[in-house]
Amino acid sequence: MNGKAMPGMRGVFLQFIIHYLILLAVTSCIGGYVYSRSFDKEKRDVIESGIDRLEQSMALLDVRLNEVRSVSTQIALDAKLSRLIGSKLPYSGEDYYAMKEISERLATYKLSNRLIREVIVYLDEGTFISSVHTTASAEDFYGKVISIGGLSYDDWREQLLRDYQYAAYFPESGLVLGGREYRVVSYVQTVPIGALNTYKGAVLVLLDARELSALLAGAVDPGKGAVQVVAADGTVVTGFGQENLRSEPAALPASDRGYAERVEGGARLLDLHARSSANGWTYMATMPRSVISDQLAPVRNLYLSTMLVTLLVGLAIAILLSYRSSRPVHRIMRKLVAGFGEQATVPDRSVSAWRYLDGTIGDLLANREALRRDLDRQAEIARATFLERLLRGGFSKESEVETVRAHMGLDLAGEAFHVVAAEVRSFEPEQPLTADMIRQLELARVLLQEISESELPYSMGIYPLDERRTVLLIGLTTGQPATFRDRLEAAGAVISARLEEALGLELALGVGNACDRLIRIRNSFDEALEALEQAADGESIYYADLRQKRQDFYYPTDMEMRLIHLVKAGDAAEVQAILEELRQRNTDIVRVSRKMTTQLAYLLKGTGAKLRKSIEMDKETAARLECQLETLVEHRSAAALLDQGTALFLELTELARSRRSGQKDHWQEKIITLMAARYQEDDLSLTRVAEELGIKEKYVSQLFKEQLGESFTQHLERLRMDEARALLGDPEVPVQDISRLCGYATPNTFYKAFKRYYGVSPTVYRQQSTTGGSADQRQ
């Protein structure tokens, strides 16, 4: 309903308006006064409405800018980027692949937010990473493919790295990218975050000026005015609308919202402004005053019409009946306007109340249906993202998997889990897909999903891997594994028959082995894909039937990364589970040759070497572990190798756990000492303590809960209340001075805190203490 004018009483009241005008003619003197006051009120309401629209556009833009800030923070905290920043070697090998992964992630961020034209990571060694380009020599690259604001490479680099910049914006400027020109606003975040004097680069997010203008378009008609966004220092960040109305403001308005009238070049202008509490920007809308006059014209015309017909006094009874008949409809209109947040509307006499009601209800129903479709679409995207991350081994802990699964509302319960990879075949794999082929494949996927859900009575998650392949993640409960193969074969036959009959396509299935936990489903996924590669058209291949043919070892990269992460975290149970899985896959399932055992030994040695270097330990322990690493490659059997490897990684896990525990004791002592010395300062806070010690707020908060069993706020209040109770025992110290000595900015704040803690006011507590009584204290 926003943006619609409230209808007048054209269909209900306008037929009786002539009688109302007679009454106004009899009281013409009063009517003149009422007209003057009403006109001024309508003028204020129209201006207020314009400010409201400006604030709505401002709020919308603040939300989108907050998303940009979140994206920048995620990029700045990316582990891959941290590794590049700390690298001392030229970017090659693993660093090169890290750059490529960051580039792919930047492309994802750009696609997820239309406001973002491009995202760039620039490191001071010359590394340049964007969604489409990656280079370790930005100086040779800049100016040929990309140029920002017409700056030379040195000027651009100086602009980014001259100072530490946290969520900084640069005004709208030109961007030349791949030979095309754009207008962008630059958002800069120095990396690493918090490294005020040792920063190594910056994350640059280029915001499309056209999208910014689209977000602000609701504030004013671009053909009738202009909108500018002005930073706190008076710099114009961006703007749009009539060029003759856009100029650098002489000074920013003092108030957070309001308006002002001025004359410039003989034209009377109206300036509306609103200030954002999120970033301090001032949003200014400028329009000719004639725009307001045009909006108020119906009010003036209504008065003149009223004065002409007021001579018809004899129709006074009709006026009363008109009012009584139209009042219920008018009330409904007002409720609709208030319910949708429109504080001021100009009646549009060309719209009947009935038509307005009909249109508004229709809009509500349409909006509800659109919202429902949008929510369903977003839920599907979120579920697909979760399934992809699960299948790719993106989770390190079972609890994390269960938390996300429950939040998504996915029913994947069971005691055993299988992955089934289904591929629709008929076209040549190398043959380019046409629009008709894609439509056929989409229909095939719909049939596959519908028949699978109807024929397989299991909890299931379905993930489209690509145009031809679809993955079924199936959970089996007690008793179901025994009949799983038969049911899957029957369902596969039904699907194949339907695909052949309806689309002339064939189906191939690859089925992975069962795993007992969702976090290990990656193994079944890899097995299903391997089995699918062996399946012919119309055939189902089970990995269990292939495994005896394999002679290579199993130690994927994602398992190594998970093992390293869990060892560093000191999680012995999860480390033991991974090593046990590694043992089963390399001893129970396959026969690993001596050559493959040697290769596995060298990989395990490399993993141990990485962990030994990243965990602090004494020289004697380091030398002993180095010897154990060297002996790993001497084993001739996979079982003996994994026995020693298990003992070695569990010892490294215990060393990491001990180191983390020692760090907690160290920081706990420093935090408690600092608070004991500074609790009398009224601005002492969790943020300030974390900043002074150079650690994260979240870590300080966790230390209090885990080590002391109370929050930071509770501990600080207890220190202050203990001091207050001691000072109240001295009748010579005024209560007002006690509030200041205990760290409270005002006596009123101290009174409230003391009464909440002890149950009585400070004055009553002192009286009871001096008379031998006792105040009730908090349990």
Which pLDDT does position 326 carry in this prediction?
64
Q: Are 220 and 269 in contact (CB under 8 A)?
A: no
Structure tokens that stand for 310 in this block: 């007021």
With a CB cutoff of 8 Å and minimum separation 6, the contacts of 601 are 632, 633, 635, 641
Which pLDDT does position 430 carry in this prediction?
62
Closest to 108 in 3D by CA, of 124, 129, 131, 79: 131
Q: Are strands 116-123 and 128-130 parallel, antiparallel or unpaired?
A: antiparallel
Strand 146-148: give its sheet, edge to edge.
134-135, 128-130, 116-123, 201-208, 180-191, 168-177, 146-148
Closest to 640 in 3D by CA, of 577, 596, 597, 606: 597
Average pLDDT per block of 10 residues along the chain, 779 residues long: 51 53 64 68 80 88 89 87 75 78 86 87 86 81 86 89 89 88 92 86 91 83 83 86 74 85 81 87 85 70 70 59 64 61 49 62 72 72 80 75 77 84 75 78 84 85 84 86 85 85 84 84 83 79 67 75 79 81 74 74 82 75 81 74 81 74 65 83 84 79 72 86 88 86 88 87 83 46
DSSP lists the bridge partners of residue 177 as 146, 180
Across 455-557, the runs of DSSP E, i.e. the strands, are: 459-464, 469-476, 506-511, 540-542
Segment 402-433, tens digit of pLDDT: 777 777 777 777 888 888 988 887 766 666 77
Which pLDDT does position 588 carry in this prediction?
66
Cα-only R_g, the chain: 36
Using alpha carbons only, what angle is made at residue 241 by residues 238 and 246, rounded to the nearest 5 degrees? 65
Q: Under the phi-then-psi rule, with left for phi > 0, alpha for psi from -120 to 50, and beta for the rest, what region is 241?
A: left
Which pLDDT does position 5 carry in this prediction?
55
User: How much helix, strand and coil, in percent to the nearest 5, is found in the chain?
Assistant: 60, 15, 25
Neighbours of 631 (CB within 10 A): 12
In whole angstroms, give the CA distance from residue 181 to residue 177: 6
Q: Are 238 and 231 in contact (CB under 8 A)?
A: no
With a CB cutoff of 8 Å and minimum separation 6, the contacts of 174 are 148, 149, 150, 181, 182, 183, 184
